[in-house]
Structure 1
Amino acid sequence: MGVQKDLAGWKEIRVPRWYFGGLSAAGAACVTHPFDLLKVQMQTQKGKISMSQLIGTVVKNDGVLGLYNGISAALLRQLTYSTVRFGIYEVAKQHFTPKDGKPIPFYISTLIAGVGGFAGGFMGNPGDLINVRMQNDVKLPPEQRRNYKNAIHGLWKVITTEGITRLWAGALMNCGRAALMTIGQVAFYDQIKLLLLSTSFFQENVVTHVTASLSAGAIATTITQPVDVLKTRVMNAKPGEFKGMLDVFASTAKEGPLAFFKGYIPAFVRLAPHTILTFIFLEQLRMNYGIIKHL
């Protein structure tokens, strides 16, 4: 994601600090959280329901602020999950970048994005689990709600009532999904941005950043949606509801192939602006506060 410019025979490049990705993703989550809430509820809903019906249900039961249920868990998730995945990606990419500053091959960026995403998925699983549960609470009858006050309270309740290992329910699937998401978002963003900058139509500016991030968001949504549906159902399940991942898969498959893409539209509507905002924030942080390297 670095940018270079010639200055008297040498090149200057600004690269992101390892924690910029987490901060950027958390900032984006503050804007896109209502879409994420609707996506989760559509994925856990059995039967068909429109987005407008869901919005009406949430607002009727909890008011407009109900669309921000679970925001503390969403921020906890991004500050763990995205900090780790972006951090690993940036540190590894800078390590493998040749001394002349030429971009690393796409297969290498894909590999390190996958590794970073897998690690980020593991570290962010507790926050993700609480996030899913808090977002899903608003559609449940009052007597069935978990009523977590915030992310920390949710973590404490899970540990004391279900055991600490429950915080990593669905972790393997979440890690796989996070690896695909990071490949789709981060590796493809870098590659698409390079392709755009190689033409005469794009320069290092917000237009390029938006174009590349929108394309990366579409790719990431498509390759992760089936895994995301299964992950959400595992995390929202009551203890003993499913015997294992094959049981979750079979239960979902009974609803038809399209069940694996439930919530695709709200997922894209949420992920596209989230990806765009994340990379706009990240690029601004990089250009203004990034580490300067001379090549």
Structure 2
Amino acid sequence: MSLPVPKVVNPPPSSTAQVGLGKKKPHPFWLGGVAATIAASITHPLDLTKVRLQASGDKRMMESIKKTVRTAGYRGLFDGISGTWLRQMSYSMCRFWAYEESKKMLGANEKGAPALKLAVAGSMAGGIAGLVGNPGEIVMVRLQGDFAKAPEKRFNYKHCIDALVRMVREEGVSSLARGAGPNVFRAILMNASQLASYDFFKASLIDSGHFQDNIYCHFTASFAAGTVATTVCSPADVLKSRIMNASGPGSNSTLAVIRHSLRTEGAMFAFKGWVPAWMRLQPTTILIFLILEQLKNGVDWQRGKSWAFI
């Protein structure tokens, strides 16, 4: 006599499982901006030093840091941080959103997407974000570089909102587009080299069989992406800082800045501040992607709960 086979009742699928049956629900577009803001806040002193090396007469990184501490105290290392927040929540939020949308358009969001498609998607995102974030970029550079100037040449902005209002009132609305050319060019280079190379290195590491999709893989891929991005972006970064920090008539001409810099410093001016730029961009890149990946994991975990709201 055979015993009856008990009927197995499968539990109702969770929201995460339901999403997995179809296409995975995309993560919120603002996660990139939050991750970049947290990372930039941590590395702000290095970014401040990089800008002052590029836009002032400071020669060495440690000398510039000591000068800042001597003249403004340790709090001086966080001069202009409100400009950094404004820049990250405009430029960075936009670039992560535009990158994902560009990958969808180009069909580069599938596994094994070629590096060229990723680079094109990054370039498209950089062009859009560079325009959207240009006012925040100017404010950040001016707030950071102000105390490196002689007192009579300082802008003396109180914070990022004061800077935006005074720029429009004193220099006209067109001042918000100052240095947009090199800034957009740099943003294209940055996103093509940083975002695209991160995705490329991450996929390559996982495909090699030596890494899994975990924090060790994210760290290694972001380390490689940070080095690539620093080298590719250095020339445009130097030009952007010098043009945005200038205040005299005709001083915002890209060709004029290039000619003057070549005449006084030689071709290597384009890589001035590379070491602090690498020291700043490297931890920033690593932090951005580590934080972003953890935020994504947090969203996925939260979506699996009955009280999911993201």
TM-score of the two chains, using structure 1 as the length reference:
0.90
Residue of structure 1 aligned with 2:68, choices 34, 58, 62:
58
Q: Is the 8 A contact 2:34 2:89 kept in 1?
A: yes
Residue ranges of structure 1 left out of the alignment (5+ in a row):
1-5
Q: Distance in 1 between matches of 2:102 and 2:46?
A: 32
Give the C-alpha shift of residue 93 in structure 1: 2.1
Identity rate, percent = 39
Q: 1:162 to 1:98 in 2, by over 3 A?
A: closer
Residues 108-154 of structure 1, C-alpha deviation per residue, up to 9 Å, x if partnerless? 22111101111111111111111111111122233332111110000
Residue of structure 2 aligned with 1:19, choices 30, 35, 48:
30
Give the C-alpha shift of residue 10 in structure 1: 6.2
- 2:48 paired residue number: 37
Q: 1:195 to 1:14 in 2, by over 3 A?
A: farther
Give the C-alpha shift of residue 79 in structure 1: 0.6
Which AA in structure 1 matches 2:219? Answer: V
Residue of structure 1 aligned with 2:99, choices 55, 68, 89:
89
Q: Distance in 2 between matches of 1:223 and 1:92?
A: 21
Give the C-alpha shift of residue 68 in structure 1: 0.5
- 1:200 paired residue number: 209
Residue of structure 1 aligned with 2:296, choices 263, 286, 289:
286
Q: SS where residue 138 of structure 1 aligns?
A: helix
Q: Distance in 2 between matches of 1:151 and 1:98?
A: 36
Q: Is the 8 A contact 1:16 1:282 kept in 2?
A: no
- 1:252 paired residue number: 261
Q: Is the 8 A contact 2:49 2:64 kept in 1?
A: yes
Which AA in structure 2 matches 1:23? Answer: V
Query: Structure 1 residues 159-168 or 12-21, which shifts more?
Result: 12-21
The number of equivalent residue pairs is 284
TM-score of the two chains, using structure 2 as the length reference:
0.86
Give the C-alpha shift of residue 45 in structure 1: 2.2
Q: Distance in 2 between matches of 1:98 and 1:241?
A: 42
Q: Distance in 2 between matches of 1:111 and 1:258?
A: 28
Q: Distance in 1 between matches of 2:251 and 2:273?
A: 21
The structure whose RCO (Cα within 8 Å, separation 6+) is larger is 1
Q: Is the 8 A contact 1:14 1:286 kept in 2?
A: no
Which AA in structure 2 matches 1:34? Answer: P
- 1:74 paired residue number: 84
**Larger Cα-atom Rg:** 2
Structure 1 segment 120-139 matched on structure 2, within 5 A? 120-139=129-148
Give the C-alpha shift of residue 240 in structure 1: 1.1
Q: Distance in 2 between matches of 1:214 and 1:98?
A: 22
Q: SS where residue 134 of structure 1 aligns?
A: helix
Which AA in structure 2 matches 1:280? Answer: L
Within the alignment, does 1:167 sit opposite 2:188 as a pair?
A: no
Q: Distance in 1 between matches of 2:259 and 2:170?
A: 28
Give the C-alpha shift of residue 23 in structure 1: 1.1
Q: SS where residue 202 of structure 1 aligns?
A: coil
Q: Distance in 1 between matches of 2:145 and 2:221?
A: 32
Aligned Cα root-mean-square deviation (Å): 2.3
Residue of structure 2 aligned with 1:108, choices 104, 117, 122:
117
Within the alignment, does 1:242 sit opposite 2:251 as a pair?
A: yes
Which AA in structure 2 matches 1:56? Answer: K
